Amino acid sequence: MVEKVTGKPFHEFVQKRIFDKLGMADTHFFLPDAKRARLAQVYGGEPGSLKVFAHDRFRTGAQFANGAGGLYSTASDMAKFIESFVGKSLLSPAGTRLMTSLQTGDLLMDNGRERGVGIGWIITRRTPVGTSLRPAGSFGHTGAFGTEYWADPKSGTVAVFMAQTFGLPEDARKSFDTMVAAACCRD
């Protein structure tokens, strides 16, 4: 839809209208050759026995941006992105509220009542029991290889967890969420 409306490839539109405006100099859909040595290796396997996860790290020959697991970035850049939804956004205040509010009604995730979906974000409806202490009203997203970033608009907290794992338990990410929320997001 973006390409039809703007007449530009999706990755070029996003680069100019979002990444560049937010100062996200290390975020790309197609990783430049000069930055490839900085890309962390992805690991899989079982807990206690990590193995290099065999996949095409650079999406060799790809012609289209992969919005479902093909964004290369840094913790600093991802913090800038999510901060833009807590502070001054590239969108109108109404647009930001719409994106970061529950849009799915009673259609919720994980067979539970804790999380639902906004527009591009996972919305925490109530603090989950037994998984993490992420506060109600927070919103965020996860990445294909274990990365997660979220924000709590009430406290102004922004959290970014970077990982490069595939098929491993999410214990470290959940512990990180709990520690951040316990330190920053309680009344």
**Number of structural domains, the chain?**
1
Alpha helices in 18-170 (DSSP H): 75-83, 93-99
- CATH number of domain containing 94: 3.40.710.10
Position 169 pLDDT exceeds 80: no
pTM of the model: 0.88
Element (H, E) at 42: none
pLDDT tens figures, 61-85: 898 998 777 899 999 999 999 999 9
Per-residue confidence (pLDDT) for residue 16, from 0 to 100: 96
As a 3-state breakdown, the chain gives helix, strand, coil percent values, each rounded to 5, of 25, 15, 55
Higher per-residue confidence, 90 vs 28: 28
pLDDT digit string (tens) for 106-155? 666 665 677 888 998 989 887 766 667 788 899 999 888 889 999 999 99
Q: Which helix (H) or strand (E) holds 178?
A: helix 171-184
Name the percent of the chain lying above pLDDT 90: 48
Q: Within 10 A of 148 (CB to CB), how many other CB atoms are there?
A: 22
pLDDT category at 159 given cuts 50, 70, 90 is very high
Mean local confidence (pLDDT), 34-53: 90
Q: Where in the sequence is the domain holding 124, given as residue range(s)?
A: 2-184
Cite the beta strand spans of the chain per DSSP E. 43-46, 49-52, 115-117, 122-124, 139-142, 148-152, 157-161
110 backbone dihedrals φ, ψ, rounded to 5°: 60, 25
What's residue 75's pLDDT?
96
Please classify residue 166 by burial: count the beta carbons closer than 10 Å to its beta carbon, then call 0-12 exposed, 13-18 middle and 19+ buried: middle
pLDDT score, position 134: 83
Q: What is the pLDDT of residue 87?
A: 79
Residue 82: predicted pLDDT: 95
One-character DSSP codes across 19-31: ITTTT-TT-BSS-
Q: Distance between CA atoms of 8 and 187, rounded to whole angstroms?
A: 46
Task: Give yes or no for residue 45 having a pLDDT over 90.
Answer: no
